[in-house]
Chains A and B, each alone.
Chain A
Amino acid sequence: MNVQTRIRRWPWVAIVLAITVAFVLSMVSPKDDVQGELVRIMYIHVPAAWLAYVAFFVTFLGSLTYLLTKNLKWDRIAAASAEIGVFFTGLTLALGMIWGKSTWGVWWTWDARLTLTAIMFFVYLGYLALRRTTDDPISRASRASVLGVLGAVQIPIVHFSVVWWRTLHQPPSLVRPDGPAIQESLMLVALIVGVLAFTVVYVSAMVKRIELIHLEDRRIEIEHSIDRPVAGDSVVVPELGAKT
């Protein structure tokens, strides 16, 4: 196996390793006194939500940097991160609904955190829809970057919604002024390892997706630069004195 193949495979190896460790830890961690086995959803729900914030923040940074530098590399980073962020937000919402049905008795409740997360999901779906409206990488990057910066306004509102409003959703589990809300050390370790594993998944997916977007841009560039036959090419100019 040559070095290039090894480098290409490292994201997959890292993903499998990280997810395996996180899965084992989440299974061996104790069940909750109140929620029982259901608490294990937390080991996917919380890391997915956390990575969604990270992904959209990276989209904001990539978009802002593109607007300042006009380097398409930053737009590709923003785009890749938004796609992964939308996936993680969708996962967060779906798992949250399953968790909600079991604990609150309803799939959906008009809670500030839930509703604002769903709205953030639609903002970034709009971002992805906007990117599909034009093939020109520069035009696409300029338009999407403005929306990438604008959309970031939602991130702190979603995160702090559980602090600003009285909500059914619990306050932050890990990042709190008075320390993590989880007292059981193995549960806390499992959750932190879960966040790290999802971060590995995020970084690996980013590397692959950026590479893919770069290749897509190259394909479009090549398609546009090929010396294509134009109308009238098939018409041969008659030569003077030629025998018919």
Chain B
Amino acid sequence: MTTGFWHQVEAVVHRDLLRERRRGDVLWVTIPFGALALLLVPLAIGTDASMLRDIGVGMYWVIVMLFGVLVAVGKASRETLPQQDASSLLGLDPAAGFVGRTMSSAILLLAFEAVVGVVAVGLYNIEIIGVGWLVLTLFIVAIGLALLGTLTAGIVNSTSTGIALVPLLVAPLSVPLLLGATQSYDGLRYGNAIISWVSMMMAVVIVVSMIGVLTARPLQES
């Protein structure tokens, strides 16, 4: 593999998406499970329409955060040690591998957000406000979660506990994304400025991507 950085990224994204098309883990397992979770919540806490409308956005983002981790976990469990060794021997730049895996995860997470979002709007009667900001938030959260998931999957890869540790690591670290996403919606709803929340999420994305790219090689060598 002697191609440039972005060609390597493209190859990794293509490989991951092809693998997903063959296995359908996100499409046939994670997305239906997320939609089912949204259906179960009102059965447990009550079916009052106005209450569900109030908590709907928050529930949606919680489901995205928790089930988004499953996307990262699934990808980590598929990447075996011999496959990683083969990629290294082919000359895959670890940073390109990290960016590629992150991009493919982000694409899958966007699909998850879109489908589960439609279900949440339908079940909880959520009001859609500020479409532009909403789409931007969806993109930032998908990229941020994908970055955290890929980075932590790289950290725990081939350890004794392995992927079981990923949710414990990703869930608390994704709190700034959860806060940013929910507070942005509240800001739009009550006519407040949301730029500070969007900036906070962007800052998380920038910091985690820098850490991920810079530590890709030492993590691979470990």
Count residues of A near B (Cβ-Cβ below 8 Å).
Answer: 27
The residues in B between 154 and 203 inclusive whose CB is less than 8 angstroms from any CB of A are 154-156, 159-162, 165, 168-169, 171-173, 175-176
Binding site for A on B (CB under 8 A): 151-152, 154-156, 159-162, 165, 168-169, 171-173, 175-176, 204, 207-208, 211, 215, 218-219, 221-222
Is A133 in contact with B215, judged by CB distance below 8 angstroms?
no
Q: For B171, what are the chain A residues with a Cβ–Cβ distance below 8 Å?
A: 122
26 sample A-B contacts, Cβ–Cβ < 8 Å, listed by A number: A67-B215, A67-B218, A119-B172, A120-B172, A122-B171, A122-B172, A123-B173, A126-B168, A126-B172, A129-B161, A130-B155, A130-B156, A133-B165, A141-B222, A142-B218, A142-B219, A142-B222, A143-B219, A143-B222, A145-B215, A146-B155, A146-B215, A146-B219, A147-B152, A153-B173, A153-B207
Q: Tell me what chain B mostly uses at the interface: helix, strand, loop, or mixed.
A: helix
Please measure, in the bound complex, the distance between the C-alpha atom of A130 and the C-alpha atom of B169, giving whole angstroms: 9
Q: Most chain-A CB neighbours within 10 Å: which of B152, B165, B204, B218?
A: B218
Is A35 on the interface with B (CB-CB < 8 A)? no
How many A-B pairs with Cβ below 8 Å? Answer: 73
The residues in A between 123 and 172 inclusive whose CB is less than 8 angstroms from any CB of B are 123, 125-126, 129-130, 132-134, 138-139, 141-143, 145-147, 149-151, 153-154, 157
Please measure, in the bound complex, the distance between the C-alpha atom of A129 and the C-alpha atom of B165, giving whole angstroms: 8
Please measure, in the bound complex, the distance between the C-alpha atom of A193 and the C-alpha atom of B160, giving whole angstroms: 44
**Given known A129-B165, A153-B207, contact A142–B221 (CB-CB < 8 A):** yes
Is A133 in contact with B161, judged by CB distance below 8 angstroms?
yes
Is B175 in contact with A119, judged by CB distance below 8 angstroms?
yes
Q: For B208, what are the chain A residues with a Cβ–Cβ distance below 8 Å?
A: 150
Q: Tell me what chain A mostly uses at the interface: helix, strand, loop, or mixed.
A: helix
Q: A138-B222, A145-B215, A153-B173 are in contact. List 6 more A-B contacts (CB 8 A).
A: A126-B169, A130-B159, A143-B222, A145-B218, A150-B173, A153-B176
Q: Most chain-A CB neighbours within 10 Å: which of B152, B204, B211, B222?
A: B222
Please measure, in the bound complex, the distance between the C-alpha atom of A52 and the C-alpha atom of B207, giving whole angstroms: 22
A214 to chain B, nearest CB (A): 20
**Neighbour of B169 across the interface among A147, A149, A154, A157, CB < 8 A:** A147
Is A116 on the interface with B (CB-CB < 8 A)? yes
Shortest Cβ distance from A149 into B: residue: B211
Q: Most chain-A CB neighbours within 10 Å: which of B162, B175, B207?
A: B175
B74 to chain A, nearest CB (A): 19
Shortest Cβ distance from A142 into B: residue: B222
Q: For B161, what are the chain A residues with a Cβ–Cβ distance below 8 Å?
A: 129, 132-133
**Neighbour of B204 across the interface among A67, A125, A126, A153, CB < 8 A:** A153
Shortest Cβ distance from B203 into A: residue: A153
B169 to chain A, nearest CB (A): 5
**Given known A146-B155, A147-B155, contact A130–B165 (CB-CB < 8 A):** yes
Please measure, in the bound complex, the distance between the C-alpha atom of A154 and the C-alpha atom of B171, giving whole angstroms: 13
Is B222 in contact with A139, judged by CB distance below 8 angstroms?
yes
Please measure, in the bound complex, the distance between the C-alpha atom of A120 and the C-alpha atom of B175, giving whole angstroms: 10
